[in-house]
Amino acid sequence: MIKTLFVFNLKENKGIIIGFTLIILLYSTISIGMYDPSSSEALEAMLQMVPEALLKMLGFTSFGTEITSYVAHYLYGFIMVLFPAIFIIILGNRLIGKYQSQGSLVYLITMPYSRKKIVVTQLVFLITTLFFVLFINVAVMMIMASVMFPKTLQIGPFLMLNFVTFGVHFMLAGLTFFLSIWMADSSQATGLSSLLLIGFFIIKMLSEINEATHFLKYLSPYSLIHISHLLAGGIHGLLELILTLIVGVAFFIGSIVLFDKKSIIV
């Protein structure tokens, strides 16, 4: 990894990183602050007033009566899926695709480092910042929950939910990064990755409407973030995590090989 390039990326993209971290953090802290176990019945009653199809699409069918289920359904059906996806689309296409589209990539590869070191630095930066954005929020939520509602958060299931969520985003970050190298035009790469990631999100929402659309879940990686199953425990969460990490690593390895062999036109 090239330390100077990593630091340069940090300076260039600190606004994006801080912005998305704070946006998600806002929703995370609000979700904990709003929780009141004594008013769970009132909240469930309020949900009955909203169209059922809309609730299912957003993953708000039930918040549960304890804090783990409440936070999971409040955040991981929408907020912790959509905002990281947008973050991946933006950053994943800036680290290589931006320079490639501007024609300045040639200056990057003339640095006294191998192509492999350059692309590895960029993908490490993408993974590191993605991890930071997600897990700074997880840490804050766990601290808030332990202070406001001691010993009520189910740490194990909650962490598994977050590991699988990270795994899915890791996999799609690999796909986005690969597309940014494969396509010569950054705007086209951004458009395609946006179409795929936002499309996967919409498909996942549609799959929740009723039994007739349930088959759509097999067309979206986001369906792996199955809140109820992950909170219930079992080996399937670990298997999903391993699967997403393997596919993500495959995309990143493909990106390294592709960039190393890619013809760069001055």
Q: What is the pTM of this model?
A: 0.89
Q: Domain locations in the chain?
A: 3-261
Average pLDDT for the chain: 85
Written as one string, the DSSP assignment of 22-73 is HHHHHHHHHHHHH--GGGHHHHHHHHTTS-HHHHHHHT-S---SSHHHHHHH
| pLDDT(216) > 60 | yes
Task: Answer whether residue 58 shows pLDDT above 70.
Answer: no
Going by pLDDT thresholds of 50, 70 and 90, the confidence category of residue 65 is low
Dihedral, CA of residue 84, residue 86, residue 89 and residue 92, to nearest 10: -40
Inform me whether the pLDDT recorded for 266 exceeds 50: no
pLDDT score at 197: 95
pLDDT at 48: 59
Q: How far apart are CA 88 and CA 246, in angstroms?
A: 18
> Contact, 125 vs 1, CB < 8 A?
no
| Mean pLDDT, residues 197-211 | 87
Query: Is 90 exceeded by the pLDDT of residue 133?
Result: yes
Most confident of 34-43, 123-132, 231-240: 123-132
Which of the four pLDDT bands, split at 50, 70 and 90, describes residue 69? confident
Contact (Cβ atoms closer than 8 angstroms) between residue 207 and residue 214: yes
In the predicted structure, residue 7 carries a pLDDT above the cut 70: yes
Return the pLDDT at 33. 83
Tens digits of residue pLDDT in 87-120:
999 999 888 877 776 666 666 667 777 888 889 9
Band (265; pLDDT cuts 50, 70, 90): low
pLDDT reported for residue 151:
87
pLDDT value for 95: 86
At residue 152, the 3 state secondary structure works out as coil
User: By CB neighbour count within 10 A (0-12 exposed, 13-18 middle, 19+ buried), where does 166 fall?
Assistant: buried
Helix, strand, coil share (%) of the chain residues, nearest 5 = 80, 0, 20
Lowest mean pLDDT among 64-78, 120-134, 160-174, 239-253: 64-78
Residue among 18, 5, 138, 122 nearest 72 (CA): 138
The Cα-based distances of 147 to 32, 150, 231 in angstroms read 11, 6, 21
- Provide the pLDDT for residue 81: 94
> pLDDT exceeding 70 applies to what percent of the chain?
84
Q: How far apart are CA 233 and CA 156, in angstroms?
A: 8
> How many CB atoms within 10 Å of residue 242?
11
Using CA atoms, how far apart are residues 115 and 262, in angstroms rounded to an integer?
10
* 1: confidence class by pLDDT, cuts 50, 70, 90: confident
Q: Looking at residue 184, what is its pLDDT?
A: 72
